Structure 1
Amino acid sequence: MKGKSFRRSGLCVAMGICLASMMLPALAANTDGSLSGRVAAGAEVTVRNADTGFTRTVKADAQGNYRFPFLPIGTYQLQASKDGQAVGETVQVVVSLGNESNVSLGGATDLAAVQVIGSRVITPVDVRSTESATNITKAELERVPIARDAQAVALLAPGVVQGQYGGASFGGSSVSENAVYINGLNVTDFYKRVGFSTIPFGFFKEFQVKTGGYSVEFGRTTGGVINAVTQSGTNEFKYGAELVWEPKSLQSTGDDHYDRQGRAYRISSKDKYDRTNLNVHASGPLVRDKLFFYAMYEFRDYQPQSTNNAGGTFFDGKSDKGFWGTKLDWQISDRHLLEFLAFSDKNETTTDNYDFTTGRRGVRSNTQYSEVGGVNWALTYTGYLSENFSMKALYGENKRDRIASSLNDQDCDAVQDRRDGSLPQIGCVSSAQVENGADKREAARLDFEWQLGDHLLRFGLDRETNTSDNESFYPGPSRKFYQIYPTAPGTELENGGIVPAGVVAYVRARQQEVSGTFETINSAYYLEDNWQVTPNLMLNAGVRVESFDNKNGAGSTYIKIDDMIAPRAGFSWDFRGDGRSKVFGNIGRYYLPLVNQINVKQAGAFLDERTYYAFQGLEAFERNGTTYYRPILGAQIGPIDNSQGDGTVGDLRSEVDRDLDPVYQDEAILGYQAMFGDTWSWGVRGIYRRLHNAIDDMNISSNGIVCNGKRKDMGYVMANPGKNVTLYTDTDCDGVNDAYVTIDTSRAGWAVYDANGKYLGERGWVKPKRTYRALEFMLDRAWDDKWAFNASYTWSKSEGNAEGPSNSDFGFDNTSRTESFDDPYVNLDGDGPLPNDRRHQLKLRGAYAIDDHWTVGATLNAQSGRPINAFGMGTPYDRRIYHSFYVCVDKCTLPYDQRVYQLRGRGAGGRTPWIYDVGASLTYQKSFGAADLRVKLAVYNLLNQQRAVEVDDSYETGVGVVNKFYGLGTGYQNPRYAQLTVSVDF
């Protein structure tokens, strides 16, 4: 083993990045790593971080085993001694996030598992653990073209794809099933579970993306976990600045898209932005070897410009609120550590709206305001209470504002004309809803590790109190949202009204508002045993017990699910005994909590009132020199419908299943990983996931009791579709709820009437199903100061009838209040490929150093298309008009039982095209005395592909009315753009 190239490879592997993109099992907490190994029995092992002076010493047991838990990530000097004499040489090892480095020193019997290059140690495979994850360091990301946000990093991991609403799908899950941690603090949005608190890219130090099989310390997710830690100070004073510039002059023009008649329906050619971020940072010791700081402030200037889809309104935005963040680390002693994190990601955007019907900016028609983010902090204590017993304690707060309004909110009603399938805003307000929301998470957790011979016991508890202060309503003097839909005479509307003769369109006037303070408490405790059965075989078994308590606007519990037992088990077998390869596997159960949006929209004084009118044309009016329209309302059709909220906090026993079952997922993984040569590694794993249950709103139109010839209508309730639902209801027809009734919704709960209103019987719902099967193959070549390469290929199938708590095929982002189970027909005969089903994914990235100063990098993300549905309106089994997999093909103006329908199953419309996203970067680095300069030019979507990533899945806009926009794109790849990064560090 000689030569410069090998020395470089040894350095890179020792620095913890050799398997940076492989499946790295872990036995560590959220914010740190651990170090273990074997040495002569009774020897003392000392670990020291040269950057901070942190030093700890432990004594090996009678079998020569030693372990350092809860180590802050970084590079350590490792030295063994016995009877005051050094055993072997001092070596260096890097402890990475969430992983356990295994290093055996002099006197051990298994030195074949260790490679020593100079004074550095390589530990290729963690054979002591069963958890799978992908670790990526900031140094690796700086060499390749990666968008500067945590989600872009997550998308590098196998099996992760971009989902709708700005989220990511892990292993077929919907975008609202993930969790994000920064320095151990959960920063996931809990209102809808889409999004999370963000920090600048330069503030991060290392990422770990968990795509499955994670240990029992993690919960409240059936998707994946993004785990990240921030920069920290050291004994060396450092400071610097980084400028990131994305000018609109280096952006390609977006494509304009046209319908089948050649008319523009999505104008993108005017969509541009200028973005400039400048961060200044400093770090160093406040007290050498004891107290350290890291601080950053980022100046931001973001100026987006765009038009609406029709191209008639021009939006000119401005956002310039800065970010601040700090990290303090206090090494009180070698047994007690304290760290403090605080940051503010508050952001405000002001957007002026201008008339653009002439292709030029006209008069200003409105100004929109939005505020997001908040101040976040966490205090973490680490205590090494003995050589075998350690603990961590965390308390913190995570805040996120949700504020949206506009100047026209008081004077203008929202109006949409949906008669042709598009969603054009024809009123003088563009706000979907006026919202003033503030979310605060109070998080506390304790984690313990106790080494008892061959058993490592890990246990702990965590509790989160999630509070949402919320006020929201539709803009305008009437506070109503007017939507115009096509229809046909004789059609039954959602409120039971029958469309009269001569009416071919109707107006739905919807008033939706709520205010109050709503709280959810999520708590859990866990216990796990990691048993080293033999030197080459590790068994892992643990259990996590969850509890979710959602409260109403009065502070009382209205949904409580507890005693949710989540067992998890796994194994890791170093079958060759050389520490370079292993077979591993795990099985486990994972529970998903309810979002706070459910509290707000059901358990508060929630008003959702819908009134239907015959449409009698449009009335034009002018405002600020622009022409707008509002509907002329004809006769009211049917009664006012407030079944989803009447503005009061009602008796929730009639709106929530008394014995609600939780949503959970079972998972099984079997994998293999190995090194070959000094820098190459590869792995493969098979994955099976099955989601059980859904919690969603269902329209229970029959409680099984006949009153005045009709079944008692319960309205919309939160329940488990396809399972027993127990509700408090009226059983003696006196109009007063008096007893509980259990309804088997797999066969009942929906009253069926003929075209004349005669009761025909009942039917039930299909049970929700989602299964995910995948094979993942990975290949990695570690950076050796010359080049690096990583590749992964994923074949997968995501099938069933329910995507998850979020619905992207209907384009409805109300988490756990989707349209999938509103009535029994939405998912009837609806099994097939789900929206996040992308059968093939190929991800490549690499970097090559041309010389000591110049490096080129490249990425490729290729994935097959998502399925396209063909949703109809109505079914041959019921007169209600709503989403379904049935399309009317003949006699569509007749009563429902005389129409001719055709079943269009999931994916009946084919698939969207393959997506190829290529990135390229060129980096220049040079030192000038004490200054290190780095200049990087990155180009994203190099081929400037602008293919559709989402399409309109609605084949019909009314019974027999074909949607002219069906199959046309509703979302496209972003055009090519360039990013220039210049950083100077001292």
Structure 2
Amino acid sequence: MTTKKLLIAATLGASSLLSHLVAPELAQAQSNTTGALTGTITDSKTKEPLPGVTVIATSASLQSAQTAITDEKGQYRITSLPPGQYLVTFYYADITLERDGIIVGVNKVTPVYQSLNQDAAGGEVVKITDSAPTIDPTSTAQGITIDKNYINNIPVPGRNFESTLGAAAGSQGDGLGVSFSGSSSLENQYYVDGVNTTGLTFGTVGSPVINNFIEEIEVITGGYNAEFGRATGAVVNVVTKSGSNEFKGSVFGTFQPGALTREANVAATNATSLDFNGNVAYNADFGVELGGPIIKDKLWFYVGFAPQFAKVDITRIPKRQTDCRMVMDDGTLSICNPALSTAPMPGFANGEPDVDPATGFLITDPLCGPDSPTGVECEVRSDTSRSINLLGKLNYALNPENQGQLTIQALPGHSNRPGDAGLVSTGAVIDSLVTDVSFKWTSKFNDNKTEIEAVVGWHREATEVGSIDPSLNNTPAQVLQNGNLAVWARGFGGETAETLAGCTDDIPGRADPYPNIDNCPMRSRSYRIGGPGGIANDSTERRAAKLGLIQRVKAAGTHEIKAGIDVENNLSNTTRLLSGGAILQNLVGNNQVRVQRYVQLTDDANMDPRFDKTCHTPDPNATGPTGDTKSYKCDFLGGQYGDPGTDITGNTFNWSAYLRDSWQIQPNLTFNAGVRYEEQRLRYAADLQNTTDALTGLELGKNAMTLTGMFAPRLGILYDWTKEGRSKIYTHWGRFYESIPMRINDRSFGGEAFYVQDFVTSGMNPPCGPTDPKIGGPNGEKCIEEPAPGEPQKVGASEQIIGASGVLIAPGIKSQYMDEIIAGFEYEILDDLKIGLSYQNRRMGRVIEDVSTDGAETYIIANPGEWDQDEENKLQARIDRTDDLQEKNRLLRQLKLFQGIRTFDKPSRDYNALQFTLTRRFSKKLYVQGSYTYSRITGNYPGLISYDNGQVDPNISSQYDLIELLANRIGPLPQDRPHYIKLDGYYTFDLKSAGELTTGIRLRALSGIPQQALAGHYLYGPDESFLLPRGQIGRTDFEHGLDIHVAYARKLNKNMRLEIYADIFNAYNRQGSAATDDTYAPQFALSGDEQNANPIAGGTYEDLMWLKAYDGSGNETAKPIGRNPNYRNTVGRYGPSNVRLGMRLTF
């Protein structure tokens, strides 16, 4: 153990010892699965505190009653209470007073203050129905608590807990999940029953528990204390249901039929020869849950079983271009007359496809559907999926002071996804299994003055992907482009007879209305044949344990000291497999086939016979005409499970410790101070450890990147001016570090190398063989055939190994972090009615990303914009004392590369928000929750998701790869929505003996997102170049929508209740713009020619007309850039109105 670790451990140990030596009092903490009660008992006449009052909390959620006795200040605290509704009873002398309906939330302290009349008659029980305040006066955390009432009565647009998270102020969906307070959705941490279940590969939701099994959800969007870490977004705590002393359960089901879904408004786009339209055929689930006692007050159980089924119909719409119209002198479009304009009886055909002058789109005729010549129905291919939610839980109480909980859940799933853009057989079958096991033990010692909580957990995700047709798992996927749909339909038989007839060009005996053009060219749409492409047999798992200690001591007030430690050992096993060992991109019209495959590189000294190939790549250090290529011994990785080199094992080890003191200076004044320390060790794949990197020459040890020194201080202060827990004014500052997902382990620390070969398919003796009539050009599979014995390996016209320079880690790299400031107040202006106003600022302090300082030849994982001078001095000193010339040159090159890190713009993301919240807790059948957020998110770094080009590679995205692409990236970020209004509520009408009628709403109104002007880059592909500064183009429309819940419930007998309901989503069918086409210049023009462009630094929209295209080699041409006719048009809409029907039978 290092000196620093010893200091941390000693600090935690000292705090524990101190808590025993200095006037120990009742422990007052709550965990992330339980809550607490606190308050002061006073004499109703004198207002003086009453010591010696016995306070007892009981609930159906609690196995044994929990008791506390007020101290000399009349204060009490009861901890480790499961979320639920409680009866709190006060005993003093012969006075008994009960308060019912007290709500305790997860990780919340509920204040229950009470005055007692000592003159009251003894022996009577005084019952009070006054509810407790809804404000936690001890916490600066921002967020929301979502309980069963919300889940059951608000129209939540989904069936697992992630669908509820959008209720939090400052949250929004981002395609991969829910983002909070300006961060991306991959920056959150998710806990289920106290165990981290965050997805390990990317940081998504790992265990999507169905809502019916959930007791309560806590969403912390900011201001969280030192107990929480590894997140720069939000922390989500999910507590599942438990048993009780009574047998209780339910049978439930929901069904969303396609027949109750309005027709989708398909966004108009430039026509292709094959389009698709997806519609939900059904979403359905049913289930049963049951909980009860095995031994009353001792051992409870809870079990749940819920299968889910879904089907999405993909309608395939073939289209042919037309040649029968012309633009008239007045600018209007003529009628369709397919006769040539030069014919004796002239028409409007001119040998060019028709273009609508109003939109710039090609005009097409559908070949199926009611508007087609034949009226035949379009072909429909269906994606189907099924899964099962399984949950089992045991709660055991040895006695009121010692309790344990064991939870096991599993989520097996199966999906069948036939190919849509091509042959059905190119689709995939996906099998998955998520498994969680957790055990928690809580003990209170020394008359409940000390509390220890220990948690161990195991989270595992497994996925297997293969072909719909298992025989194709060893066949490469071939992507056909720039060809003809009629040729492919005839050659492979994957299209309908109507498509074949309508697309076939002028052939004797066939009627072609447009004989002077290609009817169905496939220039902007690809067509897949062969195998599924990527196949997988992957798994990830997290083995976690944590230990926490809580104690309360007196010293100039009351101190709650909380300390703990947690460790995570994260493992991954990923397969580096492509069906058939390669992906073939066949550019038929361009006479080119691009072969892409995984390879494993080695040095010349390795005599393993499987390294019998030679891989070539440009040499970034070349100085002469003969030294422009580097060559490596390599192995072309196979495409079958278990093939050598295809199994990659990764490992990341995390540990953290924290110490927090909540100092209650006065009963209504609290100061929170804490510090969290974290370390993260990202390790090389097992087969790379303790080897020499064939690419960099570096000696690889065990750890690829070790991140230490992550001290995260947290400071907060709160003041309750009512002195009854009905108000608080607070402020908080904290630092939060990212926990890097394991995607980087597979790609950067797993030796990933991708070999790209371009073959020219024309000329004499083409390497890919003669033209295949099924394709209209050579078959790409011929490019990867093994040469005959004695023949040389096939060599492409150009070859490159992506990853051929290895991955360097900048010496002295530091962790990614964010700083946050919060200030605000909350006030319960009426019973159960709370308002709040807060300001939140989040600012990125440092980012980890990969950069390239030599034009995408070498990649360095670094902190863009900064490199420590001390590290430069160390490297320079090493160079100075190196005598080996080759080693000196290698180190000098690295020095130059590392110095280039400083030339990059420093990543920035600034979030500033004002939030107004209003909550009327469920009482008297009415619940209302609303928020208005005004926020701005600016900078040049969106987060762990690259929203602009759709890349999801946390910490190794293309955002900082090339310095020439950094121009124009500063401005409003993709998450920037200045105005966001949320309103949720429901009301229950009591119809007496006729039952109950509940109506609920979910209203959302929000600003649109910024629009950009993007173009391709010759090395990096589409949408990598920001032609104009962020936000200059404008933003999409302001959007709004309303969801409605209607339910009728009636008791069937004393213990059985039946409820039927309907959720109506997007009630007024506003299918607004969810996304627009930000591609100003597509990388491939309609002609099929490649076009790219560099940013116009600080440019304006008017400058775009002068923009010149760059070719595929990065050379500027004299050709103006071709504008995308679909630019700024809607490409994605919010879903149409639909209805979900449901029932719930509780007993």
Equivalent residue, structure 1, for 2:1000: 857
Q: 2:1122 aligns with which of 957, 962, 968?
A: 962
Would the aligned equivalents of 2:57 and 2:67 in 1 still touch at CA under 8 Å? yes
Q: 1:149 aligns with which of 144, 149, 160?
A: 160
Q: 2:844 aligns with which of 687, 691, 699?
A: 691
Would the aligned equivalents of 1:845 and 1:859 in 2 still touch at CA under 8 Å? yes
Q: Distance in 1 between matches of 2:254 and 2:777?
A: 41
Using a 3 Å threshold, how does the CA distance of structure 1 residues 81 and 382 change in structure 2: closer, same or farther?
A: same
Equivalent residue, structure 1, for 2:725: 579
Amino acid at match of 2:563: F
Would the aligned equivalents of 1:243 and 1:981 in 2 still touch at CA under 8 Å? yes
Equivalent residue, structure 2, for 1:37: 39
Q: Distance in 1 between matches of 2:436 and 2:531?
A: 31
Alignment of 1:188-207 (within 5 A): 188-207=198-217
Amino acid at match of 1:322: I
Q: Distance in 2 between matches of 1:37 and 1:298?
A: 41
SS of equivalent residue, structure 1 residue 226: strand
CA shift at 1:192, angstroms?
1.1
Higher strand share: 1
Equivalent residue, structure 2, for 1:676: 829
Equivalent residue, structure 1, for 2:304: 296
SS of equivalent residue, structure 2 residue 865: coil
Equivalent residue, structure 1, for 2:388: 322
Equivalent residue, structure 2, for 1:433: 534
Would the aligned equivalents of 1:614 and 1:633 in 2 still touch at CA under 8 Å? no
CA shift at 1:240, angstroms?
2.5
Q: Distance in 1 between matches of 2:482 and 2:177?
A: 27
Amino acid at match of 1:93: I
Alignment of 1:381-780 (within 5 A): 381-386=441-446, 387-406=448-467, 407=469, 408-415=472-479, 417=481, 424-429=525-530, 431=532, 433-453=534-554, 454-479=558-583, 515-554=647-686, 556-612=702-758, 640-644=799-803, 655-701=808-854, 715-724=858-867, 734=886, 739=891, 748=900, 764-780=903-919
Using a 3 Å threshold, how does the CA distance of structure 1 residues 264 and 459 change in structure 2: closer, same or farther?
A: farther
Would the aligned equivalents of 1:496 and 1:638 in 2 still touch at CA under 8 Å? no
Q: Distance in 2 between matches of 1:521 and 1:586?
A: 30
Q: Distance in 2 between matches of 1:534 and 1:184?
A: 31
**Does 2:106 align with 1:97?**
yes
Q: Distance in 2 between matches of 1:836 and 1:616?
A: 47
Structure label with greater radius of gyration: 2
Q: Distance in 1 between matches of 2:36 and 2:476?
A: 59
Equivalent residue, structure 1, for 2:1058: 933
Q: 2:968 aligns with which of 811, 829, 834?
A: 829
CA shift at 1:41, angstroms?
2.0
Equivalent residue, structure 2, for 1:505: none
Alignment of 1:238-257 (within 5 A): 238-257=248-267
Q: Distance in 2 between matches of 1:432 and 1:156?
A: 39
**Does 2:918 align with 1:918?**
no
Equivalent residue, structure 1, for 2:348: none
Equivalent residue, structure 1, for 2:1113: none
Amino acid at match of 2:451: S
Equivalent residue, structure 1, for 2:282: 274
Q: Distance in 2 between matches of 1:913 and 1:511?
A: 50
Equivalent residue, structure 1, for 2:430: 370
Q: Distance in 2 between matches of 1:689 and 1:485?
A: 51
Q: Distance in 2 between matches of 1:422 and 1:201?
A: 45
Q: 1:810 aligns with which of 935, 939, 949?
A: 949
CA shift at 1:736, angstroms?
7.9
SS of equivalent residue, structure 1 residue 142: helix
TM-score, structure 1 as length reference: 0.82
Q: 1:866 aligns with which of 978, 992, 1009?
A: 1009
TM-superposition CA deviations, 1:572-628 (whole Å, max 9, x none): 1112434322211111010002111111112123222233456869998688x9999
CA shift at 1:814, angstroms?
1.6
Percent of counterpart pairs with the same letter? 24
**Does 2:982 align with 1:843?**
yes
Q: 2:1070 aligns with which of 933, 945, 959?
A: 945
CA shift at 1:970, angstroms?
4.5
CA shift at 1:816, angstroms?
1.6
TM-superposition CA deviations, 1:775-812 (whole Å, max 9, x none): 11112233333433222111111110011122111111
SS of equivalent residue, structure 1 residue 249: helix
Q: Distance in 2 between matches of 1:483 and 1:156?
A: 47
> Aligned-pair RMSD on alpha carbons?
3.7
TM-superposition CA deviations, 1:695-750 (whole Å, max 9, x none): 12212329xxxxxxxxxx9711211111117698998762787648775889725x
Q: Distance in 2 between matches of 1:534 and 1:941?
A: 50
CA shift at 1:367, angstroms?
4.2
Q: Distance in 1 between matches of 2:682 and 2:714?
A: 26
Would the aligned equivalents of 2:316 and 2:420 in 1 still touch at CA under 8 Å? no
Using a 3 Å threshold, how does the CA distance of structure 1 residues 331 and 737 change in structure 2: closer, same or farther?
A: farther
SS of equivalent residue, structure 1 residue 595: coil
Using a 3 Å threshold, how does the CA distance of structure 1 residues 916 and 303 change in structure 2: closer, same or farther?
A: same
**Does 2:192 align with 1:182?**
yes
Q: Distance in 2 between matches of 1:735 and 1:689?
A: 44
Q: 2:170 aligns with which of 159, 171, 196?
A: 159
Q: Distance in 2 between matches of 1:217 and 1:339?
A: 20
Amino acid at match of 2:425: S
Q: 2:930 aligns with which of 791, 796, 806?
A: 791
TM-superposition CA deviations, 1:205-261 (whole Å, max 9, x none): 11111111111111111011221111111111123210111111112222333325x
TM-superposition CA deviations, 1:481-509 (whole Å, max 9, x none): 66899999xxxxx96999xxxxxxxxxxx
Moved more, 530-539 or 959-968: 959-968
TM-superposition CA deviations, 1:154-212 (whole Å, max 9, x none): 11111101103x21111111121011111111111111113321121100111111111
**What are structure 1's unaligned runs of at least 5 residues?**
1-25, 110-115, 357-362, 489-493, 499-509, 703-712, 750-762, 888-902
CA shift at 1:448, angstroms?
1.8
Would the aligned equivalents of 1:691 and 1:770 in 2 still touch at CA under 8 Å? yes
Q: Distance in 1 between matches of 2:523 and 2:451?
A: 59
Amino acid at match of 2:30: A
Q: Distance in 2 between matches of 1:697 and 1:584?
A: 39
SS of equivalent residue, structure 1 residue 210: strand
CA shift at 1:43, angstroms?
3.3
Using a 3 Å threshold, how does the CA distance of structure 1 residues 985 and 688 change in structure 2: closer, same or farther?
A: same
Using a 3 Å threshold, how does the CA distance of structure 1 residues 235 and 162 change in structure 2: closer, same or farther?
A: same
Would the aligned equivalents of 1:209 and 1:224 in 2 still touch at CA under 8 Å? yes
Using a 3 Å threshold, how does the CA distance of structure 1 residues 523 and 487 change in structure 2: closer, same or farther?
A: farther
SS of equivalent residue, structure 2 residue 150: helix
Amino acid at match of 2:821: A
CA shift at 1:302, angstroms?
2.2
Would the aligned equivalents of 1:819 and 1:826 in 2 still touch at CA under 8 Å? no
Using a 3 Å threshold, how does the CA distance of structure 1 residues 883 and 299 change in structure 2: closer, same or farther?
A: closer
Would the aligned equivalents of 2:588 and 2:777 in 1 still touch at CA under 8 Å? no
Q: Give the length in aligned residue pairs.
A: 881
Q: Distance in 2 between matches of 1:86 and 1:384?
A: 28
Q: Distance in 1 between matches of 2:199 and 2:481?
A: 32
Would the aligned equivalents of 2:933 and 2:981 in 1 still touch at CA under 8 Å? yes
Q: Distance in 2 between matches of 1:640 and 1:605?
A: 19
Using a 3 Å threshold, how does the CA distance of structure 1 residues 175 and 90 change in structure 2: closer, same or farther?
A: closer
